[in-house]
A and B are shown apart, each in its own frame.
Chain A
Amino acid sequence: MRQIIILGRGGQGAQTAGNLLAQAFYAEGLQVQTFATYGGARRGTPVTSSLRVDDKPIRARCNIENATAMLCFDESLLDKNFLRNAARGSLILVNSHQPSEAFSGLGDYQIKAVDGKAIARQNGMGKVVNSALLGAFVRLIQEPNINTMCQVVEQTAPVKQAQNVAACRMAFDLLQQQL
């Protein structure tokens, strides 16, 4: 079973990202369970979205303590407390303008940094980073297919569908070049 945690601050779209990623896996025929937890629906407070993906129905209803992959919307949240729930060697994507090497001291993980904000801005998305981060993340974990991901983004984006899809694909391509 794949176990994924997405962490962001309220208003950044981490919960939406978890739902979109779940929809893309589901569209590819896999079973999913995603749930968000937050300490109050306020902008700026940490929000966690958890996602389980499997080829059979998912029954466990508890927190993920051994994530196989993580997506962090805000580098200020990427600390030991967050990483405690990551399995050794897990794949972690962090939204940061710093190079990936800046995070190599955090432990035995494969951490990749991507500048989601810059990609969002280049594609006319302002500060909305979730479509860009999803593009990079599906490249890092190598599933679901980027076309499926872009389709979900296009179908669900309330506005700026083309810009969202462009940001998603650009981030995917950028990481593709780095890996």
Chain B
Amino acid sequence: MTTNNDGTLLSGNHAVAWGVKLARPDVAPLYPITPQTPILEKIIELQDKGLMTVELLTPESEHSAMAAAIAASLTGARVFSATSSQGLLLMHELLHYAAGARAPIVLFNVNRTPASPWGFWPDQLDSLAQRDTGWIQLYSETPQESLDTTIMAFAIAEAANIPVMVNHDAFYVSHAVEAVRIPDQQWVDQFLPPLQLEHKLDTQTGRSFGAPIDQAAWNRSRREMCDAMTKVESLVSQTGQRWGALCGRNYGPLEHYRTAQADVLIVTMGSMCGTVREAVDEMRQQGQSVGLIKVRLFRPLPGAALREALVGVSTVLVLDRNYSPGMGGILHQELKSALFGMEKAPQIHGLLAGVGGVNVAAEHIQRWVSQYAQAEACVDSIWVE
């Protein structure tokens, strides 16, 4: 590992593995899949070198990995798993189960196109298609953010009793090697004490989880999830501030970049945010008042914070690196819904940018801003080149 004053050179996936090591999980059921595999490989390497002690399980599929994760989590263990694309889709049934059982698992997903056709490219449809499963979803822009968010995700999951899925884009983040600061183990131990679950499987007490229940009890379980979800936005803020106080890097549900007096705001998630920053700086230099709202917390969507961020803004461009057939861009849809009833709401253009991993360079973003800044918005998302 090459290290200097700026940090250690790590890929996004290896940064996640370091985050996992620092969070001291008890159990990690893992199954390999491109482009997630380097997370699994690095965890095994760290374990092999004696740098971490985790019970590694390597079952025969992602479905079994998530089943093992749920069972382990319900015994009170801190549990981590990682996957991507087809693997996440295979877990789908058990994602619902984990959330319903209120198992505070942390799952890292590397965003990759789902088949068919077969591909390995950055696209967020895999995780966005899980948005109704009851998991908290966070999206990361950089390897450093992925490391930090992995650690914060345990704190969030364990405080809310809701599983957390952290996502970063294939290749642009997962395989991007750059300077990453690895926090001190001492800081992380202070930030994330050992897990103490109030209710857990225990052979001494003979309790069970997930027994068949009547309609009213099932209904109540969802009302309880609803209550828990309403607290997540402030929990993410507080956790980000607490992390920032320790290591100087603050994180919130949204990030505002050069949004002061902006007429046009670009709203997006994940790796594209970095390229948008370049485009924003260039446009600001040319006298255009453009800014970026980065959505870190997608589920639950911080609707009130988004409405507040968009007051006085004339135009919003949502960049979606996903496509829901028959509907359009998923962030576009969610944002339109979040702004329901807002007075003087901005014109919202949904741009299907980067679907299937096609390249989105800063020049493309600048061109879209000039193309759509004055245009009247339409309800449907638009394919852009």
Q: Which residues of A contact B (CB under 8 A)?
A: 19, 22-23, 26-27, 29, 31-41, 57-63, 65, 152
Task: Identify A27's interface contact among B4, B171, B173, B175, CB under 8 A.
Answer: B4
Q: B274 → chain A, closest Cβ, in Å?
A: 4
Q: Which residues of A contact B2 (CB under 8 A)?
A: 23, 26-27, 152
Binary A-proximity of B174-185 (CB < 8 A = 1, otherwise 0): 011111000000
Q: A18 → chain B, closest Cβ, in Å?
A: 8
Chain B residue, CB-CB nearest to A15: B175
Q: Which residues of B contact A40 (CB under 8 A)?
A: 34, 120
Q: When the two chains form their complex, are residues B359 and A60 in contact, meaning their CB atoms are under 8 A apart?
A: no
Task: Identify B34's interface contact among A22, A35, A41, A60, CB under 8 A.
Answer: A41
* 8 A Cβ contacts from B129-167 to A: 141
Task: Identify A65's interface contact among B6, B178, B359, CB under 8 A.
Answer: B359
Q: A112 → chain B, closest Cβ, in Å?
A: 26
Q: Which residues of A contact B119 (CB under 8 A)?
A: 39
Q: A60 → chain B, closest Cβ, in Å?
A: 5
Q: Bound state CA distance, A37 and B359, in angstroms? A: 12
24 pairs, A vs B, C-beta closer than 8 Å: A19-B177, A26-B6, A32-B9, A34-B176, A34-B178, A35-B11, A35-B171, A35-B175, A35-B176, A36-B171, A36-B175, A38-B120, A40-B34, A41-B34, A57-B179, A58-B178, A59-B274, A59-B277, A59-B278, A60-B275, A60-B361, A62-B359, A62-B360, A65-B361
* 8 A Cβ contacts from B168-217 to A: 169, 171-173, 175-179
Chain A residue, CB-CB nearest to B354: A62
Contact A60 B175, CB 8 Å, known A27-B2, A29-B4, A40-B120: no
Q: When the two chains form their complex, are residues A61 and B179 in contact, meaning their CB atoms are under 8 A apart?
A: no
Q: When the two chains form their complex, are residues B359 and A63 in contact, meaning their CB atoms are under 8 A apart?
A: yes
Contact A61 B359, CB 8 Å, known A22-B177, A32-B9: no
Q: Which residues of A contact B278 (CB under 8 A)?
A: 59-60
Task: Identify B177's interface contact among A29, A35, A41, A152, CB under 8 A.
Answer: A35
Chain A residue, CB-CB nearest to B364: A62
Q: When the two chains form their complex, are residues B172 and A62 in contact, meaning their CB atoms are under 8 A apart?
A: yes
Q: When the two chains form their complex, are residues A31 and B179 in contact, meaning their CB atoms are under 8 A apart?
A: yes
Q: Bound state CA distance, A82 and B177, in angstroms? A: 23
* 8 A Cβ contacts from B247-278 to A: 271-272, 274-275, 277-278
Chain A residue, CB-CB nearest to B37: A41
Contact A33 B178, CB 8 Å, known A26-B2, A26-B9, A61-B274: yes
Q: Bound state CA distance, A31 and B175, in angstroms? A: 16
Q: Say if the beta carbon of B306 comes within 8 Å of chain A.
A: no
Chain A residue, CB-CB nearest to B143: A33
Q: B285 → chain A, closest Cβ, in Å?
A: 15
Q: When the two chains form their complex, are residues B177 and A61 in contact, meaning their CB atoms are under 8 A apart?
A: no
Q: Which residues of B contact A33 (CB under 8 A)?
A: 176-178
Q: When the two chains form their complex, are residues B275 and A61 in contact, meaning their CB atoms are under 8 A apart?
A: yes
Q: Say if the beta carbon of B362 comes within 8 Å of chain A.
A: yes
Q: Which residues of B contact A60 (CB under 8 A)?
A: 274-275, 278, 361-362
Task: Identify B120's interface contact among A32, A39, A61, CB under 8 A.
Answer: A39
Contact A26 B362, CB 8 Å, known A40-B120, A59-B274, A59-B277: no
Q: B355 → chain A, closest Cβ, in Å?
A: 14
